[in-house]
């Protein structure tokens, strides 16, 4: 849950996750390296003099695998790289990502409308060979097309611009979505709050969907502070309303402490909070499952222990039947032996 952040005298920063992954940032705040908890597995990010990300390279092997980023640029741009960047005369395109290309030369292409909004993403070129002539093979690029109205995204289609949209949305004048149409029919959205950290607390969003029998089913989401959902109520489709409640952790409100289902059965999570080792804080110490009105076994506890001094790998656990399991770690403490 918590990451340790360290600043060095050089101006560099390093962020260490509870799982042992390291993120290194240069003095300008740009992500420079990512180390897996197995430090030989790492990625290095390269930027040009403008701060544009140019390459993400895997430094774990000698295979030389990498991903390069090409941009739309004016012909006169001294940073223009033939074969990677794409020429444009539109100032709204200049500086936007045009191509992602890997070490084998495969690429994904990004195109924009005249206003600079993303219009299509064309996937890797495919040349499929079939063993029989029963059906034609797919060739070319699978394309995702984005439809806009003013600055609001209205539709996403797979195929070409003439294909049926996977999802089409309608928005209100304030930008809030009001309806959507997809492969499962029409969905109606009612948002009662502003999309801000201050406005979302206590607000609700309802989603009404028509099933195949045209019986509407409604889901109402209620939000707590920090945009955490604390209650979902489902109704319609011939059934009684069912509510699932989510209780935030008082110590860390963005973390869920208890989930209570419609029949009263619940799952309660207890997190490590007192350890002086920051990497251990946020580990799940115990899970308790409690039956509701449907009956069943009494409260079933589970517990977990960690090697918090190293890489937060689970070292022992006790399940609901009281069965204890010990996990032997490798000499480097990074995983189980």
For the segment 128-187, what is each residue's pLDDT rounded down to a tens digit? Answer: 665 565 555 667 888 988 888 888 888 888 765 556 677 788 877 777 788 888 777 888
Q: What residues form DSSP beta bridges with 204?
A: 222
Q: Higher model confidence: residue 111 or residue 212?
A: 111
Closest alpha carbon to 245 in 226, 224, 227: 224
Q: Which residue has the higher pLDDT, 49 or 39?
A: 49
pLDDT at residue 246 is higher than 60: yes
What is the rounded CA–CA span in Å between residue 309 and residue 328? 15
When pLDDT is averaged across residues 79-85 and rounded to a whole number, the result is: 96
- Give which of 301, 333, 335 is closest to 317, Cα–Cα: 301
CA dist 146 and 112 (Å) reads 9
Percent of the chain with pLDDT over 70: 91
Q: What is residue 290's predicted lDDT score, i.e. its pLDDT?
A: 92
The two three-digit tokens of residue 170, written as one number: 């309608």
Is pLDDT larger for residue 257 or for residue 61? 257
Contact predicate 189/205, CB 8 Å: yes
pLDDT at residue number 129: 61
pLDDT at 241 over 70: yes
How many whole angstroms separate alpha carbon 163 and alpha carbon 161? 6
271-279: which pairs have CB atoms within 8 A and are 24 or more residues apart?
271/1, 272/306, 272/308, 275/308, 277/308, 277/309, 278/2, 278/3, 278/4, 279/2, 279/4, 279/16, 279/17, 279/18, 279/20, 279/308, 279/312
Helix (H, G, I), strand (E, B) or coil at 85: coil
Q: What pLDDT score does 327 carry? A: 95
Residues, the chain: 337
pLDDT bucket at 20, cuts 50 / 70 / 90: confident
């Amino acid at each position: 849950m918590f990451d340790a952040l360290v600043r060095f005298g050089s101006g560099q920063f390093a962020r260490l996750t509870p799982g042992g992954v390291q993120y290194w940032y240069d003095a300008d705040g740009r992500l420079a390296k990512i180390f897996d908890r197995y430090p030989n597995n790492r990625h290095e990010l390269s930027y040009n003099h403008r701060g544009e990300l140019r390459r993400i390279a895997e430094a774990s092997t000698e295979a030389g695998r990498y991903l390069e980023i090409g941009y739309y640029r004016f012909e006169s741009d001294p940073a223009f790289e033939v074969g990677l960047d794409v020429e444009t005369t539109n100032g709204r395109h200049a500086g936007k990502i045009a191509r992602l290309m890997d070490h084998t030369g495969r690429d994904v292409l990004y195109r924009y409308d005249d206003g600079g909004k993303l219009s299509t993403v064309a996937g890797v070129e495919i040349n499929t060979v079939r063993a029989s002539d029963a059906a034609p093979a797919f060739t070319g690029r699978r394309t995702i097309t984005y439809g806009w109205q003013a600055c609001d995204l209205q539709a996403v289609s797979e195929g070409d611009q003439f294909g049926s949209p996977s999802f089409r949305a309608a928005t209100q004048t304030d930008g809030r979505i009001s309806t959507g149409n997809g492969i499962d029919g029409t969905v109606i959205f009612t948002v009662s709050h502003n999309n801000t950290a201050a406005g979302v607390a206590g607000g609700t969003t309802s989603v009404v969907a028509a099933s195949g029998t045209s019986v509407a089913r409604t889901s109402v989401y209620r939000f707590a502070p920090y945009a955490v959902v604390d209650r979902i109520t489902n109704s319609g489709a011939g059934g009684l309303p069912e509510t699932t409640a989510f209780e935030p952790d008082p110590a860390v409100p963005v973390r869920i402490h208890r989930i209570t289902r419609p029949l009263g059965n619940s799952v309660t999570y207890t997190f490590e909070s007192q350890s002086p080792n920051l990497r251990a804080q946020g580990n799940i110490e115990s899970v308790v499952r409690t039956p509701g009105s449907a009956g069943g076994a009494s409260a079933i506890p589970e517990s977990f222990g960690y090697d918090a001094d190293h890489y937060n790998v689970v070292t022992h656990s006790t399940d609901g039947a009281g069965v204890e399991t010990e996990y032997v770690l490798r000499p480097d403490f990074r995983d189980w032996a």
